[in-house]
C-alpha cells in the first residue's frame, strides 16, 4: 500500500491516476473479427471459438434439455439466494418506472414523454474463473422489467460446451431462453450484426475482457448502443475514526480479489486508521484462497491521509470511483458531498458485496472515472423515451408567431411556412 499524507491538490492527479485503458494494440485484431462475423456469420464465430478457446460445437444455442438439467445441478441454497436477490433487485428497479405526465406548455400545446422498451437487447455474461450469474440478474431483471421483447445472452462455454448451471438456472427463472455459447469479441459481433438463429440487437450490455470491451467500443462507434465504457473494477473507501478497520480491510480485499488490476483507494482522516487497516489486511489476506491476486492488487493500492473532510471528498470526487464506501458513523452527514461515484455504501454495515449481489441496486457501474458523466445500469438503460406533442388549433395559433420569427431568423423559410400555411387555413375557415 502506497501512503500519501496530506498531499496538496497539485499531487492529486498522480495519486488518483489509473493505468491507461487504451485498447489500441488489439484494435486491429478486433476490427478483423468484427468484419469477419459481419460477413460470414456463424461460421466466423465457430472459427474464432476454435482458435481462441479450443471450443468446437454443433449447436451454439442452449437447448431445453440443458435448461432442465441445470435445475438439478444448482443447490437449493443457491436457488434461494437467487430468489432473494431477484426480489430485491426487482423491487429497486420497479421503482424506477415512470408514468406519462402531460405538460401543457402553452394553452393548446400538450407535450409528454413516453417510456418505450428497446425491442432487442444483448447481454454479455463473462465466463472465465467466476461464473457470474449475478451479472445476468443485474442485466436480465431490468431488461425483462422494461419489457424488451427480444433478449439474447452470450456467454462462453467450457471445453465440453457446457455453461455453468447457475447461469442457466438464472436465465430460466428470468424467462430468458435465448442463450448463445459464444464469448469474446465474436460474441459482441454476433449480437451487433446478427448470426443464423440470433437477430442483431440495438443495444449491448455487460462486462468482459479487453477484447470484449474493445469490440463494444467499436460497434458503439458504428451506432449500436452500449451500456457504458468499461475498465477494471474499483472501490474507494472513506474511513474516519468511527470506522471498523477490520470491515474496511475486508471491503478492500473483496475488491482486490477481482484481479491484480483492481483499483483500490483508501482515504482516511488520520494515519492511525491506515495503520489499523493495514494490520487487519495482513491477517485477512492470509486466509484468502485468491491471496495471490489480492495481495498484488493491495500492494499497488493507495492510501491517502486527508484530515480535512472537504479535501477528502474533493479527492474522491476527482477520482470518481465505481464504488464508494463511507466507513463512518457520520456517513449521512457527509453523503451530500458525493458528486462523482457509481454506487455509494453508507456506514459500517454496508459492504460493497451487499450491492454486488442483493441489496437491490445494480452492480453494473461506471469505472475508470466515467461516473463523472455516466450512470450505472438501471431500468432507464433498457428503454428510450419518446417525446410527443399535440397542438390544437388554438395551440398552433398561440405559438405560431414564435416559430415563424425564429425560423425566419435562422433562415429556414420552409419551417416558417409549415406554421404559416396552417394559420392561413384557420383564418380562411373563420
CB of 303 to a copy of itself, least distance (A): 18
Applying the rule CB under 8 A, the residues between 388 and 427 that interact with a copy of itself are 388-393, 395-396, 399, 401-403, 405-407, 409-419, 421-422, 425
- Of the pair 305, 341, the CB lying nearest a copy of itself is at 341
The answer to the question of residue 290 lying near a copy of itself (CB under 8 A) is yes
- Of the pair 51, 386, the CB lying nearest a copy of itself is at 386
- Of the pair 305, 419, the CB lying nearest a copy of itself is at 419
The answer to the question of residue 220 lying near a copy of itself (CB under 8 A) is yes
Applying the rule CB under 8 A, the residues between 119 and 158 that interact with a copy of itself are 119-120, 129-134
Number of residues that bind a copy of itself (CB under 8 A): 131
- Of the pair 58, 99, the CB lying nearest a copy of itself is at 99
Q: How far apart are CA 270 and CA 275, in angstroms?
A: 9
The answer to the question of residue 60 lying near a copy of itself (CB under 8 A) is no
Q: How far apart are CA 276 and CA 294, in angstroms?
A: 18
- Of the pair 271, 353, the CB lying nearest a copy of itself is at 353
The answer to the question of residue 227 lying near a copy of itself (CB under 8 A) is no
Q: Which stretch binds a copy of itself (CB under 8 A): 1-9, 154-162, 302-310, 345-353?
A: 345-353
Joined together, the cell numbers standing for residue 179 give: 442463450
Is 6 noted as a catalytic residue in this protein?
Answer: no
Measured between alpha carbons, how far is residue 412 from residues 126, 389, 396, 397, 425 in Å?
Answer: 51, 21, 18, 19, 21
CB of 104 to a copy of itself, least distance (A): 9
CB of 110 to a copy of itself, least distance (A): 9
Which residue from 7, 199, 229, 259 is in contact with a copy of itself, where contact means CB under 8 A? 229
**SS3 string of the chain?**
CEEEECCCHHHHHHHHCCCCCCCHHHHHHHHHHHHHHHHHCHHHHHHHHHHHHCCCCCCCECCHHHHHHHHHHCCHHHHHHHHHHHHHHHHHHHCCCCCCCCEEEECCEEEEEEEEECCEEEEECCCCCCCCHHHHHHHHHHHHHHCCCEEEEECCCCCCCCCCHHHHHHHHHHCCCEEECCCHHHHHHHHHHCECCECCCCEEECCCCHHHHHHHHHHHHCCCEECCCCCCCEEEEEECCCCCHHHHHHHHHHHHCCCCCCEEEEEECCHHHHHHHHHHHHHHHHCCCCHHHHHHHHHCCEEEECCCHHHHHHHHHHHCCCEEEEECCCHHHHHHHCCCCCEEEECCCCCHHHHHHCCCCCCCCCCCCHHHCCCCCCHHHHEEEEEEEEECHHHHHHHHHHHHHHHHHCCCHHHHHHHHHHHHHHHHHC
The answer to the question of residue 77 lying near a copy of itself (CB under 8 A) is yes
Which residue from 10, 223, 427, 430 is in contact with a copy of itself, where contact means CB under 8 A? 223
Applying the rule CB under 8 A, the residues between 352 and 381 that interact with a copy of itself are 352-362, 366, 368-376, 378, 380
Is 322 noted as a catalytic residue in this protein?
Answer: yes
The answer to the question of residue 95 lying near a copy of itself (CB under 8 A) is yes
Which strand ranges, in their side-by-side order, compose the sheet holding 150-154?
178-180, 150-154, 120-124, 203-205, 225-226
Nearest Cα neighbor of 173 from 308, 78, 255 is 78
- Of the pair 215, 305, the CB lying nearest a copy of itself is at 215
The answer to the question of residue 243 lying near a copy of itself (CB under 8 A) is no
- Of the pair 305, 344, the CB lying nearest a copy of itself is at 344
Which residue from 2, 106, 307, 308 is in contact with a copy of itself, where contact means CB under 8 A? 106
Which residue from 15, 57, 250, 334 is in contact with a copy of itself, where contact means CB under 8 A? 250
CB of 256 to a copy of itself, least distance (A): 7
CB of 7 to a copy of itself, least distance (A): 21
CB of 130 to a copy of itself, least distance (A): 5
Which residue from 155, 254, 269, 295 is in contact with a copy of itself, where contact means CB under 8 A? 254
The answer to the question of residue 166 lying near a copy of itself (CB under 8 A) is yes
> Using alpha carbons only, how large is the chain's radius of gyration in Å?
26
- Catalytic residue selected from 323, 336, 393, 394: 323
The answer to the question of residue 96 lying near a copy of itself (CB under 8 A) is yes
The answer to the question of residue 1 lying near a copy of itself (CB under 8 A) is no
- Of the pair 305, 324, the CB lying nearest a copy of itself is at 324
| Other C-beta atoms lying within 10 Å of the C-beta of residue 133 | 25
Which sequence positions are flagged as catalytic?
A: 322-323
Amino acid at each position: 500500500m502506497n501512503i500519501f499524507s496530506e498531499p496538496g491538490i497539485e499531487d492529486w492527479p498522480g495519486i488518483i491516476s489509473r493505468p491507461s485503458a487504451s485498447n489500441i494494440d488489439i484494435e486491429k485484431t478486433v476490427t478483423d473479427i468484427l468484419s469477419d462475423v459481419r460477413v460470414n456469420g456463424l461460421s466466423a464465430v465457430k472459427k474464432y471459438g476454435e482458435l481462441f478457446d479450443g471450443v468446437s460445437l454443433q449447436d451454439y444455442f442452449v437447448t431445453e434439455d440443458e435448461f432442465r438439467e441445470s435445475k438439478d445441478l444448482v443447490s437449493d441454497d443457491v436457488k434461494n439466494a437467487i430468489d432473494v436477490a431477484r426480489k430485491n433487485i426487482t423491487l429497486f428497479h420497479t421503482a424506477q418506472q415512470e408514468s406519462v405526465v402531460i405538460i401543457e406548455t402553452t394553452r393548446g400545446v400538450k407535450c409528454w414523454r413516453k417510456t418505450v422498451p428497446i425491442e432487442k437487447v444483448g447481454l454479455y455474461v463473462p465466463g472465465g474463473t467466476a461464473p457470474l450469474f449475478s451479472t445476468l440478474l443485474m442485466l436480465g431483471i431490468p431488461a425483462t422489467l422494461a419489457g424488451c421483447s427480444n433478449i439474447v445472452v452470450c456467454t462462453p462455454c467450457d471445453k465440453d460446451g457446457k455453461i455453468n448451471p447457475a447461469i442457466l438456472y438464472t436465465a430460466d427463472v428470468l424467462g430468458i431462453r435465448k442463450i448463445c455459447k459464444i464469448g469474446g469479441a465474436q460474441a459482441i459481433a454476433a449480437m451487433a450484426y446478427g448470426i443464423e438463429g440470433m437477430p442483431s440487437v440495438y443495444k449491448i450490455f455487460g462486462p468482459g475482457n479487453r477484447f470484449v470491451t474493445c469490440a463494444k467500443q467499436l460497434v458503439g462507434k458504428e451506432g449500436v448502443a452500449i451500456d457504458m465504457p468499461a475498465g477494471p473494477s474499483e472501490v474507494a473507501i472513506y474511513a474516519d475514526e468511527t470506522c471498523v478497520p477490520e470491515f474496511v480491510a475486508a471491503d478492500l480485499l473483496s475488491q482486490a480479489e477481482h484481479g491484480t488490476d483492481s483499483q483500490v483507494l483508501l482515504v482516511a482522516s488520520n494515519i492511525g486508521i491506515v495503520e489499523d487497516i493495514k494490520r487487519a489486511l495482513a491477517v485477512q489476506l492470509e486466509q484468502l484462497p485468491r491471496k495471490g491476486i489480492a495481495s498484488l492488487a493491495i500492494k499497488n493500492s493507495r492510501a491517502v491521509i486527508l484530515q480535512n473532510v472537504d479535501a477528502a471528498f474533493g479527492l474522491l470526487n476527482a477520482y470518481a470511483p465505481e464504488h464508494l464506501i463511507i466507513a463512518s458513523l457520520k456517513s449521512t452527514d457527509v453523503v451530500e458531498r458525493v458528486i462523482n461515484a457509481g454506487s455509494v455504501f453508507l456506514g459500517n454495515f454496508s459492504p460493497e458485496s451487499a450491492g454486488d449481489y442483493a441489496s437491490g441496486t445494480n452492480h453494473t457501474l461506471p469505472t475508470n472515472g466515467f461516473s463523472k458523466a455516466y450512470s450505472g445500469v438501471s431500468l432507464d438503460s433498457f428503454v428510450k423515451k419518446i417525446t410527443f406533442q399535440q397542438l390544437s388549433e388554438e395551440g398552433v395559433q398561440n405559438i405560431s408567431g414564435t416559430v415563424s420569427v425564429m425560423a425566419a431568423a435562422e433562415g429556414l423559410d420552409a419551417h416558417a411556412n409549415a406554421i404559416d400555411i396552417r394559420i392561413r387555413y384557420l383564418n380562411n375557415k373563420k
